[in-house]
Structure 1
């Protein structure tokens, strides 16, 4: 099956894509393009999937770069393939021939570019990373390489939408303690539950960081099992594990 790659006009003409689960070699609960090396999927099958992504990005397999994601605000700047994956949640570069990638399965995959400066970035932003500042930190790291905030564009890929993201009062309180204005990202749910708008919060943080353009592709990972993996959906279904989607960008 052919890979399905979602793209954004604002990131063109740079090579980039938010890859769906379609077109991969994995089976079972991982059926499709599982690119999660930390999953319990077969290592050789994940390698095949990642090689297909590298081919689509027109880079060698070892030039498809990623990090060991830990829900942090840590960003790494690279100028050559990494010997080992650092514990971080974002990467930036100005080196052609490297494809920066992040994995997700409900969290926000965010791709960044300043085409004029020749600087790109990729960030994994779950609620914790977004709250702790990984998106602003990625913009800062890009600026350190010569990018300009006003000419940076950022696109949030497939993520869990508000209608599927039920949270408890402690979660709400964590956000309100950070900033009272964060109440705008919550809607009332059943009883004491609330619904959190992760992509809207991500867009808010990107705009606060001063980027020129910030968009969301408006794809919900939870609601479309044929196209996307979802940690929350797998948890509700009591599945043993779940696949990881990949997003990538290259100069």
Structure 2
């Protein structure tokens, strides 16, 4: 059974943050691994992508990008072949029947919707993309399609939580150099280290950009091994690879 987490802020818009539950992958990838960049069996990954798609909108075209931890956004006007996926970390569209899918395994998935204008977006906000402005660029791309900033609702899906995200002092300094106010997203940890609340940082970037409706699902990917894939957890366990879960949004036809 595929598990799709829903956000109240996106009620009325087809969407879902998929966990790893369900799917056909086995071993360290067991479950609904949709990562084409993983070392999982490709046929299993393709089957999982079909299962995820059909759990949201059966038979629709699932569009993903080749995520590169950038602030770049593409506007999607139709289906995109897997081999033609552009290098970007966010997508927007006003076309019904297309599913925008973002893959994560600790990074922050953000789904956007102006339901009245019929414009949606999806962004992968790792720390590099987040500090680089991927969420702001997604909002601007939605506005180019007719969305109104004040009408856009955003939902932040499962990602690594503060308690699980240890960073170095140099990492903190990078964020404080960008904005001194970013210090509030870090709490002291063991000597020379801090804990980073990346979801709260992304939420603040959205709020600063003028988004009024922001929902955080508050699900820590690292701490729920039976429910979510986690890059950092896999590294700590010495595993050879890791799976990716998918967050999806679509407009009804």
TM-score normalised by length of structure 2: 0.97
Mapped partners of 2:59, 2:78: distance in 1: 12
1:91 correspondence with 2:66: no
1:155-199 deviation digits (Å, cap 9, x = unpaired): 010000000000001101110110110100000001111111100
Aligned residues: 249
Identify the residue that residue 43 of structure 2 maps to in structure 1.
Answer: 44
1:59 Cα shift? Answer: 4.3
Q: Which residue of 1 aligns with 2:34?
A: 35
Hey, what does 1:68 align to over in structure 2? 66
Residue 22 (structure 2) pairs with residue 23 (structure 1): yes
Deviations along 1:87-124, one digit per CA (max 9) or x if unpaired, are 00000000001000100000001100000000000000
Q: CA RMSD in A?
A: 0.8
- Give the Cα–Cα distance (whole angstroms) in 2 for the partners of residues 59 and 130 of structure 1: 32
Q: 2:182 & 2:99 partners in 1: Cα distance?
A: 34
2 CA distance for matches of 1:72 and 1:208? 20
- Residues 70-99 of structure 1: per-residue CA shift (max 9 Å, x gap): 000000001111241100000000000100
How far apart, in 1, do the equivalents of 2:211 and 2:59 lie?
30
Give the whole-Å Cα distance in 2 for the aligned partners of 1:65 and 1:212.
Answer: 27
Flag as ranges the 4+ runs of structure 1 deviating above 3 A. none
Question: Gaps (5+ residues) in structure 2?
Answer: none
Determine the structure 1 residue equivalent to 2:127: 127
Structure 2 counterparts to residues 1-251 of structure 1, below 5 A? 2-60=1-59, 63-83=61-81, 84-251=84-251
The whole-number CA distance in structure 2 between the counterparts of 1:99 and 1:210 is: 25
**Runs (5+) with no aligned partner, structure 1:** none
SS of aligned partner of 1:73:
coil
State the shift of 1:212 in Å.
2.2
TM-score computed with the length of structure 1 as normaliser: 0.98
Q: Is the 8 A contact 2:156 2:217 kept in 1?
A: yes
